[in-house]
């Protein structure tokens, strides 16, 4: 390790370790010969910058902490970096950012870290309007407690736990980062130094009594409070007053918190270190216990979703939840199911659904999806394995909820992008970016070329471009998503309505498609009736494996309980959407 820190490496090392080719910067590990391409800047601190580093052979993306050698020439800086590497490198836990490697060249020292594309809890809070519901805070705190319990078991106290040092990977799993202030406390007394971030400092640290494991537990209480309330518990306008409040244990608990949340916060923020719970006790607290799925939860959940379209827009505006995408790729080619239409009772219902008389000719797309799915679930065997179907269907690959200001943006697998604005208007951009379609809040559509957008639509056009750029630069598809089927000479697909619950985001598109992205396990369900004679189901499971089936195959052969449960959830959402659609039809009749 000391060789890496050598401030005067051989001159030839400079040529080996840093190259510029076609304006791309490449970094080479002189020992392993692994070559990294330097990507975008992810962040910067006191004396380091963090960039994406992409292994050119494997295409694996890392976060590279790049420290100029000029910064480590100052007294104590070299030892600080050595200590950070020494403490962090042995830590291997799913809730701790992994330190993969480190090396140096003539100008810099490089620390190769696990890449967390969803940034930090600071960014999450900003995106979500400043606060998170208890249902989302609980799993984050459980993951934090598991990570801290592990680091403590290795004799390491972090000493700087805060929102900014809690990163999120592509699956929104929490990872503890930045061990620059960490210390090993095993076999030695607590370190008597005031270090860390003021709003998260424990009272014993301010009293110069040392920074032991219990100080990390205190910081966890500050993090939990900040997630629920939107600010740390002792934050004031001056540092002196903040310290006084910490020493007095003076903070307030909002009345809207549940009893279990209040109880855990009080336990974590005990002024005396000996009175705070152990990490095992924290993990056993009722607030952090994983929720148990119960069959009756769906009915209760859906009963809370009975809001009309105007209320839905307002609910989205009040939620303030710009979100990050967790998408999945379509992997492997499936075989055609070849289910004969006459072999399944579903198609008796299909005939009744599709052959409409005059009185039922106003059947909406939502009711169509609802009846198809209801017919499938009425016929489905208790269990089974349906044959897969070969083909593709359109799906949402990226989305962002910015309804606290503007609206809900999305990108489809054919690269169409669109925004459903808070005023119920919609603007879409074609995959080739040569055509724009605007729909007013009555559904009337007008098409324009980008160069001839009316002045009245320029602001929304600018917002659409902002959404498109943000999704392109910041959100990933998470896999090889196939391009959706071509839709030549057809109107662009647009978002009709969406709904967000504690469990999922539900999106209904104009192409007779419903998509449900589940937050907890990152599964996704797509129900498509664009070809109503062959409605399709796409399902992405917890391992991000994607399968496609015809609805007829599921009705005939069955499917596993996980998929059945999600189909039932989708049916409940369609019931709610169908009520909205019927109200709209009655108003326009």
In the 3-class helix/strand/coil scheme, how is 424-454 assigned residue by residue?
CCEEEECCCCCCEEEECCCCCEEEECHHHCC
Backbone angles phi, psi at 101, to 5 degrees: -165, 170
Q: State the pLDDT at residue 310.
A: 34
Over the stretch 400-424, which tens digit does the pLDDT of each residue have?
988 888 899 999 988 999 999 988 8
Least confident of 254-268, 303-317, 341-355: 303-317
Reply yes or no on whether the pLDDT at 134 is more than 70: yes
Contact 371, 379 (CB under 8 A): no
Give alpha helix (H) positions in 1-113.
2-5, 11-17, 77-88
Question: How far is 53 from 65, CA to CA, in rounded Å?
Answer: 9
Residue 223 to residues 144, 268, 385, Cα–Cα distance (Å): 10, 10, 45
Q: What is the pLDDT of residue 311?
A: 37
425/509 Cα distance (integer angstroms) = 14
Give dist(CA 143, CA 139) in Å, integer: 6
Residue 247, both tokens: 């020493």
Q: Which residue has the higher pLDDT, 45 or 70?
A: 70
Largest CA distance in the chain: 86
Point out the least confidently predicted range of 7-21, 156-170, 225-239: 7-21
What is the CA 98 to chain-centroid distance, rounded?
Answer: 20
Domains of the chain: 2-114 (3.30.200.20), 121-288 (1.10.510.10), 320-588 (3.30.1120.30)
pLDDT number for residue 73: 75
Instruction: Output the CA angle 462-443-571, nearest 5 degrees.
Output: 100
pLDDT digits (tens, 9 = 90+) for 275-301: 999 999 999 999 997 644 322 332 232
Backbone angles phi, psi at 539, to 5 degrees: -135, 130
Q: Check residue 201 and give its pLDDT.
A: 93
Of 89 and 347, the structure prediction assigns the larger pLDDT to 89
Give the model's pLDDT for residue 318: 36
Which pair of tokens denotes residue 458?
Answer: 């320029």
Of 22, 55, 86, 160, the active-site residue reads: 160
On the question of pLDDT at 9 being above 80, the answer is: no
Kindly indicate the confidence band of residue 128, based on its pLDDT and cuts at 50, 70 and 90.
confident
Q: What percent of the chain has pLDDT over 70?
A: 77
pLDDT in the model for residue 321: 35
pLDDT of residue 344: 39
**Distances 135 to 139, 209, 287, 295, 501 between C-alpha atoms, Å:** 7, 36, 9, 18, 11
Q: What pLDDT is stored for residue 534 in this prediction?
A: 85
Supply the pLDDT for residue 5. 55
Is there a contact between 537 and 373 (Cβ–Cβ < 8 Å)?
Answer: no
Average pLDDT rounded to a whole number, residues 214-243: 94
Task: Read off the tokens for 395.
Answer: 């799906």
160 included as an active-site residue: yes
33/146 Cα distance (integer angstroms): 36
Under the banding of pLDDT at 50, 70 and 90, the label for residue 94 is very high
Query: Is 60 exceeded by the pLDDT of residue 202?
Result: yes
Residue found under tokens 């929490």: 174
Higher pLDDT, 242 or 354: 242
* Residue positions forming the annotated binding site for ATP: 65
Spatial separation of the C-alpha atoms in residues 61 and 82, rounded to whole Å: 24
pLDDT at 100 over 80: yes
Give the predicted TM-score (pTM) of the model: 0.51
pLDDT for residue 305: 27
Average pLDDT over residues 69-79: 78
Annotated binding site: 65
Helices and strands, number each (H, E), in the chain: 17, 23
Q: What is the mean pLDDT of residues 488-505?
A: 86
Q: At what angle do helices 134-153 and 213-229 cross, to 10 degrees?
A: 170
Give the residue ranges of DSSP H helices in 380-435. none
pLDDT at 585: 64
pLDDT band at 6 (very low <50, low <70, confident <90, very high): low
Residue among 183, 217, 187 nearest 200 (CA): 217
Q: How far apart are CA 78 and CA 397, in angstroms?
A: 45
Neighbours of 89 (CB within 10 A): 16
pLDDT band at 536 (very low <50, low <70, confident <90, very high): very high
Where is pLDDT greater, at 547 or 455? 455
Q: What's the pLDDT score for residue 363?
A: 52
Higher pLDDT: 449 or 367? It is 449
Which residue in 347, 343, 385 sits closest to 532, CA to CA? 347
Identify which of 386, 490, 390, 393 has the alpha carbon closest to the alpha carbon of residue 435: 490
Predicted confidence (pLDDT) at residue 142 exceeds the cutoff of 90: yes
Provide the CB-side half-sphere exposure for 481 (13 A, CA).
Answer: 24
SS3 of residue 536 by DSSP: strand
pLDDT in tens, 314-370: 433 333 333 332 333 322 323 333 333 333 344 444 443 333 333 333 456 788 888
Contact yes or no for 171/325 (Cβ under 8 A):
no
What are 266-279's pLDDT values in tens digits?
999 999 999 999 99
């Amino acid at each position: 390790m000391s060789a890496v820190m050598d401030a005067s490496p051989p001159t030839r090392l400079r040529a080996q370790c840093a190259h510029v080719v076609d304006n791309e910067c490449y970094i080479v590990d002189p020992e392993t010969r692994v070559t990294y391409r330097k990507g975008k800047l992810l962040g910067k601190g006191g004396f380091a910058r963090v960039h994406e580093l992409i292994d050119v052979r494997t295409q694996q993306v890392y976060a590279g902490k790049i420290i100029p050698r000029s910064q480590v020439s100052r007294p104590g800086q070299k030892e600080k970096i050595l200590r950070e590497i020494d403490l962090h490198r042995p830590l291997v836990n799913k809730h701790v950012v992994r330190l993969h490697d480190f090396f140096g060249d003539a100008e810099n020292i490089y620390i190769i870290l696990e890449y967390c594309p969803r940034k930090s809890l600071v960014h999450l809070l900003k995106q979500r309007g400043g606060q998170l519901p208890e249902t989302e805070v609980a799993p984050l705190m459980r993951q934090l407690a598991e990570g801290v319990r592990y680091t403590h078991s290795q004799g390491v106290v972090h000493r700087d736990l805060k929102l900014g040092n809690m990163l999120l990977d592509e699956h929104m799993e929490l990872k503890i980062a930045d061990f620059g202030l960490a210390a090993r406390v095993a076999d030695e007394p607590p370190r008597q130094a005031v270090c860390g971030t003021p709003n998260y400092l424990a009272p014993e640290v301010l009293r110069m009594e040392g920074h032991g494991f219990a100080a990390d537990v205190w910081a966890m209480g500050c993090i939990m409070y900040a997630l629920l309330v939107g600010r740390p518990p002792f934050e004031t306008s001056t540092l002196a007053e903040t310290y006084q409040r910490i020493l007095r244990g003076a903070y307030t608990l909002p009345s809207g918190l549940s009893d279990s949340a209040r109880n855990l916060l009080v336990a974590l923020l005990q002024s005396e270190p000996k009175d705070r719970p152990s990490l095992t006790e924290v993990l056993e607290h009722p607030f952090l216990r994983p929720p148990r799925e119960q069959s009756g939860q769906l009915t209760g959940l859906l009963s809370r979703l009975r809001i009309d379209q105007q209320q839905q827009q307002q609910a989205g505006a009040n939620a303030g939840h710009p979100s990050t995408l967790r998408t999945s790729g379509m992997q492997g080619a499936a075989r055609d199911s070849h289910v004969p239409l006459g072999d399944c009772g579903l198609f008796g219902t299909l005939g009744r659904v599709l052959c409409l008389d005059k009185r039922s000719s106003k059947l909406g797309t939502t009711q169509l999806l609802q009846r198809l799915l209801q017919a499938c679930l009425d016929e489905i065997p208790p269990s089974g394995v349906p044959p897969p179907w070969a083909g593709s269907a359109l799906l949402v690959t990226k989305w962002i909820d910015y309804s606290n200001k503007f609206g809900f943006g999305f990108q489809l697998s054919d690269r169409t992008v669109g925004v459903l604005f808070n005023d119920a208007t919609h603007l879409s951009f074609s995959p080739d970016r040569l055509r724009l379609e605007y729909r007013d809040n009555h559904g009337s559509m007008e098409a324009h070329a980008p160069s001839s957008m009316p002045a009245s639509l320029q602001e929304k056009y600018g917002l659409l471009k902002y959404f498109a750029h943000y999704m392109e630069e910041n959100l990933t598809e998470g896999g090889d998503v196939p391009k959706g089927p071509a839709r030549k000479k057809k109107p662009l697909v647009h978002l009709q309505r969406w709904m967000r619950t504690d469990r999922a985001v539900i999106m209904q598109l104009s192409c007779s498609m419903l998509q449900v992205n589940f937050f907890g396990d990152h599964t996704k369900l797509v129900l498509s009736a664009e070809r109503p004679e062959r409605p399709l189901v796409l399902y992405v499971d917890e391992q991000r494996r994607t399968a496609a089936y015809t609805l007829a195959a599921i009705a005939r052969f069955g499917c596993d309980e996980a998929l059945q449960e999600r189909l039932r959830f989708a049916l409940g959402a369609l019931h709610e959407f169908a009520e909205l659609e019927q109200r709209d039809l009655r108003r326009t009749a």
